Amino acid sequence: MLDIQAAVSLQPCNTLSLPATAEFFCRINTREDLFEALEWARQKNIPVTPLGGGSNLVLVDDLPGLVLQIAIPGIALAPGSELGEQRNIHIGAGENWHQLVLYTLEKGWYGLENLSLIPGLAGAAPIQNIGAYGIELSELFHSLEAVHLPTGELHTMQADDCHFGYRDSLFKQAGRNQYVITAITLSLSTRPHLRLSYPALLQALEGCDAASLTPAMVSAAVCEVRRSKLPDPASLPNTGSFFKNPVVTEDQAAALRQQFPDIVCYPQTDGTVKLAAGWLVEQAGWRGVMRGRVGVHDRQSLVLVNFGGGTGAELLALAEEISDSVQQKFAVALEIEPTIYPAPAKKPL
């Protein structure tokens, strides 16, 4: 029997510790729970909002309708997946992401090591197309299972169906609030293929014998780098990187390099150039700046934090100030990375 509660605080359910209340709230432990909860919401004619670990969202107001906390467990080899070196791993959407990475390393299933210590749950990983230290989830993605909210049908979706982009997917665009992901399947390998091109990771591994490096060592180095740069949300509420690294044309990048020789750029295979948003924010003078109860982290300018008692509205006001100043100084637009709930109203053209 589902335990559907009324007027539940969502402050413990988001890593920014922002205040908001769910009109109704339910924890989903199985796919059957999900179907039952959706039928309950359908009968009441109320909206449904799925949440995972709350590590990639900004709550700016109370959420109407039924909020579903997805907690479906399970990690197993997909049937028939043991072909050569490839291993397809079927993962419940409620599995903790970092614990999943550690588990796969213990089992000798490699590929996720660069994505160590990313907060959140497995089911949210495709929504954001999480990425770090030179790799994105889409490179390891096989498929996912999701329930389509308007019809209640269970869909199996391949990579092309998900429309993956840089920190983006169908589920943040046309499919926003249209699906509840119940499980994902990732294609890993029993043979390590280490990805070591990211500068901070290379620096952390400096002095190590390249021939003896293992995926577990890479994972440990990634954890070390992340801990040195990003505050623990449990001690200082945050959502990690608040802005996406903007992508510009080579001509734009060349003009910026001429004006700002120290600008941090990452050339992309498609000819575009990715700029380091943290560098832009810091150069615009925002590192360590406080605005009342919210502010910019004093070691990583890409991280906005809640010092205690801050609201989503205060955080977004700060983000707008930062974006405006970066636009003015560099003529580069910043885009917020976490998802905003409820969705902001579109500005008139």
Mind telling me the catalytic residues? 167, 241, 337
What is the β-pairing status of strands 5-9 and 21-28? antiparallel
The helix (H) or strand (E) run that includes residue 41 is helix 31-44
What whole-number distance in Å separates Cα of residue 289 and Cα of residue 283? 12
* CA atoms within a 13 Å half-sphere pointing along the CA-CB vector of 169: 28
Are 95 and 172 within 8 A, CB to CB? no
Structure tokens at 82: 């043991």
Number of H helices, E strands in the chain: 9, 20
The beta strand positions in the chain, using DSSP E, are 5-9, 21-28, 48-51, 57-59, 63-70, 75-77, 86-92, 131-132, 135-136, 141-148, 153-158, 179-189, 238-241, 247-248, 265-267, 273-275, 290-291, 294-296, 303-306, 339-341
Closest CA to 201 of 139, 132, 302: 132
Secondary structure of residue 12 in the 3-state scheme: helix
* φ/ψ of residue 82, rounded to 5: -85, 75
- b vs e for 155-168, b when ≥16 Cβ sit within 10 Å of the residue's Cβ? eebebeebbbebbb
Q: Where are the alpha helices (DSSP H) in 72-158?
A: 97-107, 125-128
